[in-house]
Amino acid sequence: MDPDEVIRIVAVDDHPAVLAGVTVWCAAADPPIELVAAGADPAVAWAEPGRNASVVVLDLQLGGALPAFAELQRFVDAGRQVVVYSMREDSRTALICLEVGAFTYLTKAEGHIHLVAAIHAAAARRPYVSPSLAGALGTDTRKSRPTLTPRERDVMLLWFHCESKDMVAKKLGLSARTVAGYIDRVRIKYANAGRVAPTKAALVARAIQDGLISLEDL
């Protein structure tokens, strides 16, 4: 995206203090972030002006006893970029959110620096791993690692550093369709291993878990 373009977000959270904090943090962000809508009801993200926001900041509890995984799934299915911002600090919840398709996961204890950075990354489709998410990935004990060909691995890793598959194609001298085919095959292999990776963020998480890339490489 254009570095001078204002990032527009919608925040879904039932804590007024959190929404007030997000408003202040966004106003002070550089590049600028505009909070166009906020509220406790996910409907705020489906009505104007929230429906056109490029990033959804989503609390998982929303006043209920159970995490709002269904709401997260609905946003993901609609192609929304979702930054989960939650009080829950357990690794299992973070990993479930990634598998559903969240862009990234942060705990509210991580504060404004990581939230603003995650929003910027989500708007630019650039991977972002917070300390809490890194901890969750580090404690994931699942070992079913698919076997990737050298070309699949190279295409995947280059894609992590590019904004689009078209850019990967230009760098490697391939067609965008060929690049997409490599990425699709990687996703199929992970799905067959029981570790689905429906989004770029989830695939980054898998690569970190399997030692194909480190946090320092992102």
pLDDT at 164: 87
pLDDT at 96: 84
Residue intervals in the chain for CATH 3.40.50.2300: 7-138
The residue among 13 and 198 whose pLDDT is bigger is 13
Residue intervals in the chain for CATH 1.10.10: 150-217
Phi, psi of 90, rounded to the nearest 5 degrees: -80, 145
How far CA 51 is from CA of 8, 16, 104, 198, 213, in Å, comes to 10, 21, 20, 22, 34
Helices (H), the chain: 16-27, 69-77, 91-100, 111-123, 131-138, 150-160, 165-172, 176-192, 200-209
pTM for this predicted structure: 0.71
CATH number of 7-138: 3.40.50.2300
23-77 residue pLDDT tens: 999 999 998 899 999 999 999 999 999 999 999 999 998 877 678 899 998 998 8
CATH number of 150-217: 1.10.10
Radius of gyration of the chain (CA): 17
Confidence of residue 159 (pLDDT cuts 50, 70, 90): very high
Average pLDDT over residues 179-190: 89
Average pLDDT of the chain? 87
- 3-state SS assignment for residue 159: helix
